[in-house]
Amino acid sequence: MDYDSLFTIDPFGLDFNEKSKLYAEWVPALCDHHRKFCPKYRLLSNALGSNPSLPVRIFKEFDLSSIESEEVIKTMTSSGTSGQQVSRIYLDRETSTRQTKALSKIVSSFTGKERLSMLIIDSSEVIKNRQMFSARGAGILGFSMLGRNITYALDESMKLSLDAIKVFCEQNINSKVLVFGFTFIVWQQFCQELLSQDIKLNLDGYLVHGGGWKKLEDQKVDNETLKMIVKQTCGISQVYNYYGMVEQTGSIFMECEAGNLHASIFSDIEIVDPLTLMTQSSGRGLIKTTSLLPTSYPGHILLTEDEGEILGIDTCSCGRSGKYFKVFGRMKDAEIRGCSDTYGQ
């Protein structure tokens, strides 16, 4: 697998046939790699077939690693409420660098190659432990590498740092900026606070956000409402949602100008029947994702717990090649059984 050559390709530059040829070569090679270096994955392969799809929750139940313990430079954990099990994802230097590079390639294809001054809608307290990252901390650190002159919009109590925000706005009054945050935090701790204090920021640039939609849907807030309020409070009209998970960091799916989520060359998506796990040619079903990036842990083929639908391939009005799709949220009573049960037995 020649990752150097992969990173020379436009992240949305391969059509369906070209990408299919790439994945037909790389995915079996990744499966062979993890069978060789991860004994637990090898057991799953023996039981379930040569290229098994792992449910994302298996990383909450088992330690799955394809590297020696001394090679681990970073351990990422999924977000979870108190008392919940969390996924543990083990990264070596190569996988971590690869994921960061892919993230940069994907996002910069939307926001431009210039590193912009960056406002992060979160608290710097989240990233204090560089060895042990939550999904939130990993996201903040990964996206922060895309910008410069980083300013955090919230203090340690998750309240607006108005003085810091004011300085950021003054310093970038005639420049485009990059703003990043997790969807619910952007809405609740940032936009709603600006509204309640009758504060209007004058920013020009891009907002990239993802995660936390379930909480917003409970408040009857959809994507268009969020974009409207961001424009009203911040002045930013170029707002990009993304879909991703800590188990496949880096290979995120970005929302284009037409409002569709896109698979880059670094990742792919299928829709499967939640009962049979067979790939569906059309309609809504369970989202299965593939990433070419992880070699330090077997997170290359995952069954999510989300419902989605592929809208088309190579035909989006934005001009980007590849599959584009929509996510409807967590499937009702989502709990994919199979891999973890088989291994437990």
Q: Over the stretch 73-83, which tens digit does the pLDDT of each residue have?
A: 989 887 654 45
For residue 139, the model assigns a pLDDT of 85
For residue 344, the model assigns a pLDDT of 33
* Residue at 312: amino acid letter: G
Mean per-residue pLDDT for 2-25? 96
Q: Do 202 and 133 reside in the same domain of the chain?
A: yes
Q: Which domain holds residue 344?
A: 1-71+256-345
Q: Residue 126 — pLDDT band, cuts 50, 70, 90? A: confident
Task: Taking each helix axis as running N to C, give the angle between helix 39-48 and helix 16-37, from 0 to 180 degrees, rounded to the nearest 10.
Answer: 120
Looking at the predicted structure, is the pLDDT value of residue 290 above 60? yes
C-alpha to C-alpha distance for 227 and 224, rounded to whole angstroms: 5
> What are the tokens at 109?
């294809």
For residue 338, the model assigns a pLDDT of 34
For residue 125, the model assigns a pLDDT of 86
Round the average pLDDT of the chain to a whole number and report it: 89
Task: Give every CB contact of residue 172 below 8 A, 6+ residues apart in sequence.
Answer: 117, 203
Q: Do 95 and 27 reside in the same domain of the chain?
A: no
For residue 339, the model assigns a pLDDT of 30
Q: Do 329 and 200 reside in the same domain of the chain?
A: no
For residue 137, the model assigns a pLDDT of 82
Looking at the predicted structure, is the pLDDT value of residue 343 above 50? no
Q: Do 244 and 111 reside in the same domain of the chain?
A: yes
Q: Do 189 and 286 reside in the same domain of the chain?
A: no
Q: Do 126 and 225 reside in the same domain of the chain?
A: yes
Would you say 277 and 300 are in contact if contact means Cβ atoms under 8 Å apart?
A: no
Looking at the predicted structure, is the pLDDT value of residue 129 above 70? no
| Proportion of the chain above pLDDT 70, given as a percent | 92
Q: Do 114 and 247 reside in the same domain of the chain?
A: yes
Looking at the predicted structure, is the pLDDT value of residue 85 above 90? no
> What are the tokens at 166?
């004011």
Instruction: For 320-342, write each residue's pLDDT tens digit.
Output: 999 999 999 888 765 443 332 32
CA distances to 171, 173, 226 from 219, rounded to whole Å, are: 35, 33, 11
Task: Taking each helix axis as running N to C, give the angle between helix 93-111 and helix 135-144, from 0 to 180 degrees, rounded to the nearest 10.
Answer: 60
For residue 314, the model assigns a pLDDT of 97
User: Tokens 């706005």 belong to which residue?
Assistant: 169
**Domain-terminating residue out of 213, 232, 255:** 255
Q: Do 91 and 205 reside in the same domain of the chain?
A: yes
Q: How, if at all, do strands 132-134 and 74-77 pair? A: parallel
Mean per-residue pLDDT for 289-310? 96
Would you say 64 and 57 are in contact if contact means Cβ atoms under 8 Å apart?
A: no
Q: Do 102 and 209 reside in the same domain of the chain?
A: yes
Q: Do 240 and 122 reside in the same domain of the chain?
A: yes
Task: Give every CB contact of residue 51 below 8 A, 6+ residues apart in sequence.
Answer: 27, 28, 31, 45, 301
**Domain-terminating residue out of 255, 288, 304:** 255
Mean per-residue pLDDT for 109-120? 94
Q: Do 266 and 128 reside in the same domain of the chain?
A: no
Instruction: For 96-105, write each residue's pLDDT tens digit.
Output: 999 999 999 9
Instruction: For 170-200, write each residue's pLDDT tens digit.
Output: 999 989 999 999 998 999 999 999 999 999 9
Domain count, the chain: 2
**Domain-terminating residue out of 222, 240, 255:** 255
Q: Do 166 and 293 reside in the same domain of the chain?
A: no
> What are the tokens at 157?
């109590």
Tell me, what CATH number does 112's domain have?
Answer: 3.40.50.980
For residue 341, the model assigns a pLDDT of 32
Q: Residue 134 — pLDDT band, cuts 50, 70, 90? A: confident
| Proportion of the chain above pLDDT 90, given as a percent | 74
Mean per-residue pLDDT for 276-292? 95
